[in-house]
Structure 1
Amino acid sequence: MLDASPEGDRTPSTVSTPRLVGRDRELVALRSAVARPPAIVLVEGEAGIGKSRLLREWLAAPEQRSALVSVCPPLRESLTLGPIVDAFRGIDRPVSRLPLTALAGALRPLFPEWSSDLPPALEPLDDAKAARHRLFRALDELLRALGVDVLVLEDAHWADEVTLEFLLFLTSRQQSDGPSLVISYRPEEVDVGSLLLRLTSRLPAGVTQLRIALAPLRPDDTAALVSSMLDGNPISQEFTTFMHERTGGVPLALEESVRLMHDRADLVVRDGQWFRLKLRELQVPPTVRDSTRERVGRLSPTAQQVLRAAAILAERSSVATIASTAGLSPAACRGAVVEAAGAGVLDGDEHDRWRFRHVLAATAVYEAIPLADRRQLHLRAGRALEDVHPPPVARLAHHFREAGETQSWARYAEQGAELAMASGDHTKAVDLLVDLLSGTELPAADRARVARIAGVAALGRREPVDDVYHRVIRTLRSVLETPGLSARQQAEIRNPLGRLLIIGGEAQTALRELAQAVASLDHDPVEAARAMTYLGWAYAGPWPAATHRRWLDRAAELAVEIDSPAERLNLAGNRAAALLMLGEEEAWDVVADLPVDGASAAERLDVARIHANVGTGALIWGRYAEAEKHLAVAMDLAEAEQASRLQHNVRLEQANLAWLTGRWEGLAERSAALADADRDRPACYLGSIRLAARLAAAAGRRRAAEEQFRLVLEEFARLGAADDTMEAAAALARLWLAEGHSGRALQVTNAPMETVGNKGIWVWATDLVPARVEAHLAAGDVRAATQVCDQFARGLRGRTAPAPRAALAVCRALLAAAAGDHARAAAAFDRAARAWSALPRPYDAMLARARQAEALIAHGHLAAGRELLAAQYELLFRIGARGDADRVAQRLREHGAEVPRLWRGGRRGYGDQLSPRELDVVQLVVAGKTNREISRILAKSPATVDQQLRAAMRKLKVTSRTALAVKAVEAGVFAEDDSFHDLS
């Protein structure tokens, strides 16, 4: 079961016994063989591979057979015939009633408790072999008298010699219809001289024979086993890979690891999938640890020394490398390797390289090595690997780090990072360098150089913003505090730091870092030009557009001197996107010549980023067809290069495009998924919340929309993302104007209007200026409204920006309506609606048409106005803007028109239905949000969220958040939201 407390990520309250997975074929083969007696079935495999579980599953099947089962204990001195005797003690039939001959008297020494039921004791024999043969015949007679069909002996590698002789005796008599034998054992535990080898190699003719060699589980079976322990929910791909690699697919190791993670509260379910909170390491379960150490302890001291060396080396290594690490001669090491491999601990490949068969076993051995010995072994390993060609620099960095050899560690860490970046593994490079910077004190110059490389490597990562990203930010800031750094060294660190901060949405801080960096980057024209281009982006900072433009022009001057075509493309593409943000028409000339592919992975990623930025700019301008084209190019390249972070960016912009162009179906789910995926990147996360707020506002869920837009506005303002404050402020103004609060509407738009005026970037004001004009008019200040409209018109001169120009048409229509010129207002709203429709931006076109209808009615054209108003009511309702549809319906009633019945009817009270506030909470639960996050997004107290969540659970008759989310989606409660809107 899941913990039903209303929190965010779910943790399991219990862990179930795993079901048998990945053994269907073996189980069928076992059943088939035993169904054709007499049979000998040998089940072999390493410890924990699932031999006993397979036999238990087979024995539990409702098949008509009599079986005796025994397990050989791992005793130092095995008891003679102990497993066979233990098997017979499990019978539930009186021995006295069995058809036994006098031969059974030989059994009295083995079963003294049956003395009164067995025939008299036999005369002792002088020949020990004859006595043993007589005893075996007596045991065989007992088996047949009991009607035993199958004798099952588990862990036969621990059986005593006499027990194995008895099994050989039974196989020799199976042709006379004796019992079938099912024997399990570990091949690596069988000594060379063991009789078990004769049993497994000399099977008699005429007997059904089957050997089942159990292999580790495959990754998909690993996922299925873990899932079966966790309420059947699937586990994430990352979790699957992690578990399979570290346990080697051994079922026992998997089971014990899951239980250990449960005990440590490392497991959570998110969006219906199990994740592990910390994927860096996996503790060795006690059962696996003890089993491994017990097996290793039975080996010779030399073999144990080799295993310690192999645990230190961790990866496949040659015998020579292992010998050097262990401090042994190659000959002694070779013999010990053979011994360890024979015990099933080491595994070799075709190149005679060796490693532990399972990571957990290696970890168990590694953890048992005293710390001082570990350092010495790591030092030997490092020196041994220095002789390998080419040198494994990442491994060398690791070993010298653990050995405390700072200089060698630093040298190889830098070499490893360089190779990792060359191969595209920027995350590995970052890990190597940040570990170096965090783990030791380097000279200032070395520290600065390593930090610069780490920053550049971090910029090349394709993964989403994560712990690695935040760790490198903290590390670079820490390095900047190092005494003795020159201005140039600081600049080389601030440059990538600023760009990383841009990725994280910390725009204001990013520009400060870049502005400081540019002053000391004269020695590197490419990086100087790149930093200047970022400073040319106008999304943050107090600078006017002219200042941003000067940065872009300076970057262009430097770009002329750059020889690399790839660097010139990067600078030109980023310049074009920055010019679009500034509202500069010339950007489109550069955009027209952009390539749609690159010659290398790095170039393709660069082209993808450029097209994504251009797509964002096209959305601001209202050129939606071009936005769709550029975003599609960006997505194709990002997917091809598996750039997940860039994919998230593009998906958000595509969702914004869907909102603007009226393709709202499924948009709520997309916004929730985007918010969850981008929770670690403030800018993208807030963009997803803004999308949800738009939908809430259109649907009439005013409170949720207000709370979400307020969060977006406050957080974007805190981050310094000036352009992103515009829409949120305008949306809040519209909500408050609908309630008659013109003063609040003016107040919330004051700062964004000041930003637009100071920067002089009026393409940003598509949503803002109409809301501001309407707020002035509602306050009775026609003059101020006119001034804002005129400023807007001047700011758009010479710019073919369709969306801002449509907004300007709305402003002029609002002024005409306020002046009482209803005929001119109707014509102006018609022009605005046509402008919106041409984009296309249907929602805004519908709102403009509704205002046009009001103007027609005010002008005396009642029938035409009501007809147009009724048409907008139906269009708004069907697109999903139920709140706006409700307002239009109210206006129709006021004008004496009948409102079409488009929905199934509503309820005055909520009863067992979810209220609007409960719906808002449930929607965020479906998105995977915790109570704390919901409280933050909806601006409610945690107690209120908890109360509404429990009420929703009660109404939907569920007891957990997961069940609530599933039930809400299945029941379609969001589809019925129209019955809960606030009507005005």
Structure 2
Amino acid sequence: MELVERDYALQRLRDARDLAQQGTGRTALVYGEAGIGKTSLVRCLAAGHDSGRVLIGGCEALFSPRPLGPFYDIADAFTSRTRSLLGREGRRAELFAALLTDLQELDGTTLLVLEDLHWADAATLDLVKYLARRIERVRALLVLTYRDDELDAKHPLRLLCGDLPSDAAVRVPLLPLSETAVADLAQRTGRSSEGLFAATGGNPFFVTEALSAEGLPASVRDAVLARAGRQTPAVRELLDLAAIVPARIDVSLVHALLAPSDEVVAAALASGLLFAQSGTYAYRHELARISMEQALPSPVAAALHARLLCHLESLGENVPMAWLVHHAAGAGDCASVMKYAPKAAADAAAHGAHCDSAWLYGRALAHAGGLPDDARAELLERHAYQCYLTSQIDSAIASSQTALALWRKLGDKRQEGHMLRWLSRLHWFVGRNSDADVYGNLAVQLLESIHADDELAWALSNRAQMHMLAGRTTEAVTWGTRAIEMAEKQGNTEVLAHALNNVGTARCVRYHADGKDMLKRSLEISIANGYGEHVARAYANLTSSAVTTRDYPEAQWYISQAAAYFAERDLDSWSQYVVAYQTRLDFEQGRWDAAGQLASHLLTRGDVTPVARIPALNVLARIRLRRGDPGGAELLDEVTELACATGELQRLAPVASARAEAAWLRGQDGEDDPVVSRTCLLAEQLHDPRALGELLFWRRWMGLEASETAEIEHAYALQRDGQWQDAALAWQSIGCPYERALALMEGDEHAIGEALATLSALQASATIRRCRESLHRNGVRGMARSPRASTVANPAGLTLRELQILSLLTQGLSNTEIADRLARSEKTVEHHVSAVLRKLDARSRGEAVAAAGRLGLGSTH
């Protein structure tokens, strides 16, 4: 039937094709519910495309999709080199680049259609993303069709669509037909339209099936079965065979199994259920195929699957493993599932389809009861690793523990140690750090006892990584150094890169220069040997370390280098981590609008890991809290839960500082937050000057007890010692305007005015309000209206803290008593008293009190 109410959608696609013809490629997203007419619309576009090639590939609803399945459909259009790379393990980057080159060199304008992307495997989605990000370089229109109503928030296709360049992507949603259009279609076929719109909801496929049936069916399934029921047994046999093969079945398979006559084929096509295309038969709509498949009695379906499996096996090695697994499962053939599923899983993993690989290994394990223990343990390990890569950590732990029990039963100590090391890593991922430590130590002890040096090197590096992540620098260096020495002796460059990263990161965040050198060496080794994950991890840790130590220019440089690396490899999990630290970098340097926008965009993705989500959430919460915007408290509660689950100082410290600042902004002086106090104690124990400096600063501002001798970040140390001017200069040289403003707030009248101006520029209205409250409480009048209004009240130029000190001196308090009153050390009070005497030109405390009386400063309390 002709297209109805699709003129606008078709024109949108034609406009995009016209841009492609002019040399600016486009991606078109055509989406809507099943049966809405996506395929019909695309076919109409293709029928009118005469200025180049039309390439159409589709995804299949197999138990596990064939890796890169749609591109195998159109492989004949590409060069022999590209075709040879399709099935090659570890050559994905070359394949992607080669396919892009082929598209660029095709004559005319290419219409590349990929249908049913909601069923796509991970490798296909990665390749689509790669092409879509570069489509403007190609004279091509990339058309992607999918069912948007079947995509949840975490579906990889939804994430892919969200990442497409907005200026190069055209979105074409298809809506149901109107009631008027449905009535018009009924009139053309001579049928009554009564109840038709209500029964079909305007879905074109439902309408078509209903109008083709004898009377109005209760459902689409009834309509399809009614049409099939009018066919001869031979035609029905062909329809049944096609129904058990998702998407399409090769004509050669049909003829090999059924040998239908030309009349039977013609009748099947005339039924309106099947159509012929490029050497295949396919149902006109997947809903029709599913209806037919589900109507088959189980013995009939199993027999058809078994016949197909037998024939496919006879064809040799060129049959996709995913097809064999699908029909083996449909036939209930456990032995064949066990035979093909592991191979299909390995093939999926080689193409980056790790979710599919995990599922296939799971299918194999469900039929692995007859395997020997060692083979079953190896299968469990492979399943666990694929689950680990795809964040199915609970399943990974379960398979690893079962494998561990089998290796112990077999007495294989080397494999037992290997599994203990992996269980350590897996338990860290779910926040069970104590269990991770136990497994990690057991792995080292066992592997040392049997002198399994190759596995021991990994186990040592794992211990270094666990300690590094927990902020235990000394332990990380000790374990990591052993791993480095062993790796160098063995010539194991992968372990060497891993261990150098761990030790380098641990030392770098504690301001040791050699740490950065070790990280750079890890990066160089990883790049030279093609260790993609280790390259990404090196960039991530170089970035996070630079932000943590406030080396902002270097952090920005590594972010740009990482972005270039990730752009060619689509390593989204690592790129998200780097983006999260970009939000923190922008935030700390006062670019709050940019930080907030980037954090908000990152947090809309459903696949963001906790380690990337924590900094982005924390940045967004602090911006909202400082500006008095709504939602800050809720975000802070969410990020607190995530950070506490990790138990790691690097996650906890920024969140604890945010909680302390939020309490100060609420005016909750003197109220101790248990998260803040515990994190502060942890920072002291781990000797982290950055984390401890900010935490102690907020504790002092809230009037809580704070160590006056701990080693803290230099700028905070200057503030602690009353050297606000030097502190402000230090913050300015680093590039932290908010912290500089807070340092100036402890200064004289001119400094306070500058601080309020800076906070105003940052739109930190909540912080300004709280600072003015503090000024008022400390006897400074008029500053809220004008910075100059306090000149008369403070002609000696005393800071707010010095005004407090002078007020207490006029009450006759000793240094010890003042220290108790202000929760400060006597040494700090002594510094302040000396500054007061100097500014008042007084030689003693008595002269200071007298000078205060003459200047009218004694009543500041």
Tell me the TM-score normalized by structure 2.
0.61
**Counterpart position of 2:573:** 645
User: Mapping of 1:192-207 within 5 angstroms?
Assistant: none
Q: Write the deviation string for residues 665-703 of structure 1: whole angstroms up to 9, x where unpaired.
A: 1433443333342576344333333223212332256x9
Aligned: 1:895 with 2:760: no
Match of 1:805 in 2: 714
Counterpart of 1:767 in 2: which secondary structure?
Answer: helix
Match of 1:870 in 2: 753
Deviation at 1:411?
A: 2.6
Q: Deviations over 1:794-826 (max 9, x none)?
A: xxxxxxxxxx33233333x2xxxxxxxxxxx2x
Q: Give the deviation of 1:848 after TM superposition.
A: 0.9
Tell me, in whole angstroms, the C-alpha distance in 1 between the residues paired with 2:662 and 2:8: 61
Q: 2:376 aligns with which of 439, 442, 447?
A: 447
Q: How does 1:962-981 map to 2 (within 5 A)?
A: none
In structure 2, how many angstroms separate the alpha carbons of the residues matched to 1:236 and 1:544? 39
Match of 1:380 in 2: 307
- C-alpha deviation, 1:582, in angstroms: 5.5
- Aligned equivalents of 2:174, 2:698: Cα separation in 1: 61
Q: What's the CA shift for 1:564?
A: 5.9
Once the two structures are superposed, what CA deviation does each residue of 1:227-285 show, in whole Å capped at 9, x if it has no partner?
9xxxxxxx9587999xxxxxx999789x99x999999xxxxxxxxxxxxxxxxxxxxx9
* Alpha-carbon contact 2:724-2:744 (below 8 Å) kept: yes
Decide whether the 8 Å contact of 1:511 with 1:541 is kept in 2: no
Q: 1:334 to 1:478 in 2, by over 3 A?
A: farther
Question: 1:390 maps to which residue?
Answer: 318
Cα root mean square deviation, aligned: 4.7
Contact 1:222–1:249 (8 Å) recurs in 2? no
What is the match of residue 754 of structure 1? 681
Q: Is the 8 A contact 2:580 2:613 kept in 1?
A: no
Separation (CA, whole Å) in 1 of partners of 2:683 and 2:494: 34
CA-CA distance at 1:732 after TM superposition: 3.0
Q: Give the SS at the match of 2:707.
A: helix
Deviation larger for 309-318 or 408-417: 309-318
Amino acid across the alignment from 1:381 = L
Contact 2:473 2:507 (C-alpha < 8 Å) held by counterparts: no
The one-letter code of the counterpart of 1:448 is: A
Once the 2 structures are TM-superposed, how far is the Cα of residue 555 of structure 1 from its aligned partner? 1.8
The 1:423–1:891 alpha-carbon spacing in structure 2 relative to 1, beyond 3 Å, is closer
Work out the CA distance in 2 between the residues paired with 1:618 and 1:746: 29
Aligned to 1:664: 592
| Residue 457 (1) aligns with residue 386 (2) | yes
Q: Which has the higher contact order (CA 8 A, sep 6+)?
A: 1
* 2:736 is aligned with 1:841: yes
Please give the secondary structure, in 2, of the residue aligned with 1:536: helix
Conserved? CA contact 1:498–1:511, under 8 Å: yes
1:615 to partner: Cα distance: 0.8
State the partner residue of 2:229. Answer: 297
Q: Give, in whole Å, the separation in 2 of the partners of 1:286 and 1:637.
A: 55
Deviation at 1:744, TM superposition (A): 3.5
Match of 1:313, SS?
Answer: coil
Please tell me the residue identity of whatever aligns with 2:767.
Answer: D
Q: Any conservation in 2 of the 1:319–1:353 contact (CA below 8 Å)?
A: yes
8 Å contact 1:570–1:606 — kept in the other structure? Answer: yes
1:406 match: 334
Assess if the C-alpha contact under 8 Å between 1:219 and 1:249 holds in 2: no
The aligned counterpart of 2:726 is 831
| Alignment check: 8 A CA contact 1:678 1:685 kept | no
Contact persistence 1:418–1:429 (CA under 8 A): yes
Structural mapping, 1:709-858, within 5 Å:
709=636, 711-736=638-663, 744-745=671-672, 747-772=674-699, 778=703, 785-787=707-709, 789=710, 792=711, 804-811=713-720, 813=721, 825=722, 828-851=723-746, 853=747
**Which amino acid is 2:362 matched to?**
V
The CA deviation at 1:401 is: 2.6
* Distance in 1 of aligned mates of 2:569 and 2:744: 45
| d(CA) in 2 for partners of 1:871, 1:632 | 34
Match of 1:818 in 2: none
Partner of 1:654: 582
Return the offset for 1:658. Answer: 0.9
Structure 2 runs not aligned, ≥5 long: 13-33, 42-140, 151-156, 164-172, 183-194, 203-216, 788-861
| Whole-Å separation in 1 of the counterparts to 2:421 and 2:487 | 17
Quick one: structure 1 residues 872 and 25, their matched pair in 2 at CA, closer, same or farther if it must change by over 3 Å? closer
Distance in 2 (CA, whole Å) between partners of 1:526 and 1:250 is 60
Whether the 8 Å contact between 1:679 and 1:685 is mirrored in structure 2 is no
Q: Which amino acid aligns with 2:225?
A: R
1:555 paired residue among 464, 476, 483: 483
Q: Measure the CA separation in 1 of the matches of 2:757 and 2:8.
A: 59
* Alignment-derived partner of residue 694 in structure 1: 622
Q: Check if 1:434 corresponds to 2:356.
A: no
Say if 1:550 and 1:593 are closer, same or farther in 2 by CA, change over 3 A: closer
CA separation of 1:524 and 1:367: change in aligned 2, threshold 3 A: farther
Aligned 1:244-643 pairs, distance under 5 A: 287-314=219-246, 316-322=248-254, 326=257, 328=258, 331-332=259-260, 336-337=264-265, 339-350=267-278, 352-388=279-315, 389-438=317-366, 441=369, 443=371, 444-460=373-389, 472=396, 476=400, 484=409, 488-489=414-415, 491-493=417-419, 495-496=421-422, 498-499=424-425, 502=428, 510-519=436-445, 528-537=456-465, 544-563=472-491, 565=493, 568-581=496-509, 584-593=512-521, 603-643=531-571
Partner letter of residue 445 of structure 1? D
After superposition, the Cα gap between the structure-2 partners of 1:713 and 1:287, relative to the gap in structure 1 and judged at 3 Å, is: closer
Give the aligned partner of residue 192 of structure 2.
Answer: none
* 2:6 counterpart residue number: 21
After superposition, the Cα gap between the structure-2 partners of 1:735 and 1:428, relative to the gap in structure 1 and judged at 3 Å, is: closer
SS at match of 2:461: helix
Look up the match of 1:57.
none
Question: C-alpha offsets along residues 725-768 of structure 1, whole Å, 9 cap, x if unaligned?
Answer: 22333333344457776653375444223323433444543422
- C-alpha distance 616-599 of structure 1, shift in aligned 2 (>3 A): closer
- What letter is aligned with 1:877? S
CA contact (8 A) 1:614 1:630 kept: yes
Alpha-carbon distance change, 411 to 834 in structure 1, aligned in 2, over 3 angstroms: farther
* Matched AA of 1:292: V
1:489–1:765 CA distance, 2 compared to 1 (3 A): same
Q: Provide the C-alpha distance between the structure 1 equivalents of 2:289 and 2:452, rounded to a whole number of angstroms.
A: 47
Deviations 1:487-527 (A, max 9, x none): 65555445455545555666555555444445556797666
Residue 208 of structure 2 corresponds to none
CA shift at 1:450, angstroms? 1.8
Give the conservation status (yes or no) of the 8 Å contact 1:540–1:720: no
Amino acid at match of 2:736: R
Q: Which residue of 1 aligns with 2:116?
A: none
Q: Is the 8 A contact 2:504 2:518 kept in 1?
A: yes
The Cα of 1:843 is off from its aligned counterpart by 0.9
CA change 1:647–1:501 in 2 (3 A) is farther
Shift of the 517–353 alpha-carbon distance from structure 1 to 2, 3 Å rule, reads: farther
Whole-Å Cα distance in 2 between the matches of residues 304 and 405 of structure 1? 25
Percent identity of the aligned residues? 21
Q: Which moved more, 1:670-679 or 1:378-387?
A: 670-679
CA contact (8 A) 2:380 2:402 kept: no
Contact 1:618 1:626 in 2 (8 A): yes
1:44-102 per-position Cα deviation (integer Å, ceiling 9, x unaligned): xxx98989x99xxxxxxxxxxxxxxxxxxxxxxxxxxxxxxxxxxxxxxxxxxxxxxxx
SS at match of 1:744: coil
Query: Which residue identity lines up with residue 724 of structure 2 in the other structure?
Result: F
